[in-house]
Amino acid sequence: MMVKLVSAEKTMTSLMDIQDLKVSFHTEDGTVQAVNGISYQMDPGEILGVVGESGCGKSVHALSLMRLIPIPPGKIESGQVNFDGRDLIKLTEAEMRHVRGRDIAMVFQDPMSSLNPVYTVGFQIMEALKLHKGLDDKHAKARAGELLALVGIPSAVKRLDDYPHQFSGGMRQRAMIAMALSCEPRLLIADEPTTALDVTIQAQIVDLVIRLQEELGMAVMWITHDLGVVAEMAHKINVMYAGFIIERGNVHDIYKNTRHPYTLGLLGSLPRIDEPPGTKLVSIPGLPPDLLALPKGCPFAARCIYRIDQCLEQMPPLEPAGQNDHIVACWRWEAVAGRKAG
């Protein structure tokens, strides 16, 4: 499912242009079709929210951009990831090591497993600075202290000599963000970075990333299953299901002019303070499809109250469904739009 989303003029200014990316995992049980031909673009300074339930391909697609999926069993079957004029898929591993950290940085879900427990936090931040910026020990340590202070860690210089287990969960995630920002990347990928944190710390991390994005002007890809988080920070949203992008648009259109039944279900499962007391949350019936054997038609059809026979037989293409480059893969999107209007 491949679609050009913007004009050729806009393509020239895009930071990243992904076309027809397909990723699979070859296992003893068969081939898992994890990412199924997704295409989209990101502009410099844009905050993109990537949402969907567990197993929809959010993290696998991000790891593929960084060329971090394990090969084997994983394999990038096809596609292009054009970043700053280069196709990342075609780069050698040595060339990708210069891209990771310097041009594109990633913050993972669990900072305790991402930080090396036998090295100090300062050493791990300094390592990236020495590798990509060519700094000596003295200047790398000074810059590492500045970065920890930037992300709000008290007594930052003193904490450089601490080990990860001496930091709280929120502080470890801040340290990971400091490490990711150390080489001033043009794109920060945050893969569910607040999932393991309590609610108050989650809010602090979100506010921190928003502030840093505004100060540094970098683009941010925020991967999450929480539509409430991206509502306050994202410019655009990709909704993923079964390895496909099934709806894409700016944050206002996704929330106010929803076009896909799955997106409608995700939004209905969010508690809202403007609903009358006693309003029940909406649940989506059924289970996601088996990625070892995707259905012939729309992967959401078995769970969809809007389905018709065509949905079971033919996969809908992404097509315009409103203004502002709002696109959707649904044969019945007009019926969904009519329901929303009513």
Q: What is the pLDDT of residue 7?
A: 37
On the question of pLDDT at 302 being above 70, the answer is yes
Higher-pLDDT residue of 259 and 11 is 259
Pairing of strands 319-320, 327-328: antiparallel
Task: Determine contact, residues 104/86, Cβ cutoff 8 Å.
Answer: no
Measure the CA–CA gap between 202 and 70, rounded to whole angstroms.
29
What is the mean pLDDT of the segment spanning 252-262? 91
Measure the CA–CA gap between 138 and 146, rounded to whole angstroms.
13
Q: What is the pLDDT of residue 97?
A: 87
Measure the CA–CA gap between 249 and 327, rounded to whole angstroms.
6
For 260-285, the pLDDT digits (tens) are 999 988 888 776 666 677 677 777 88
On the question of pLDDT at 112 being above 70, the answer is no
What is the mean pLDDT of the segment spanning 198-221? 83
Q: What is the pLDDT of residue 327?
A: 95
For 31-70, the pLDDT digits (tens) are 999 999 999 999 999 999 999 988 888 999 999 999 999 8
Mean pLDDT score of the chain: 86
Strand partners, 224: 51
Measure the CA–CA gap between 334 and 316, rounded to whole angstroms.
13
Q: What is the pLDDT of residue 233?
A: 87
Task: Determine contact, residues 175/115, Cβ cutoff 8 Å.
Answer: yes
Q: What sign does the dihedral 110-111-116-117 (CA atoms) show?
A: negative
Pairing of strands 219-224, 47-51: parallel
Place of tokens 């000074």: 142
Q: What is the pLDDT of residue 259?
A: 92
On the question of pLDDT at 6 being above 60, the answer is no
What percentage of residues in the chain have a pLDDT greater than 70? 92
On the question of pLDDT at 131 being above 90, the answer is no
Exposed/middle/buried for residue 323 (C-beta within 10 Å: 0-12, 13-18, 19+): exposed
| Residue 329 binned pLDDT confidence (cut-offs 50, 70, 90) | very high
Q: Report helix angle 121-133 to 137-150, nearest 10.
A: 120
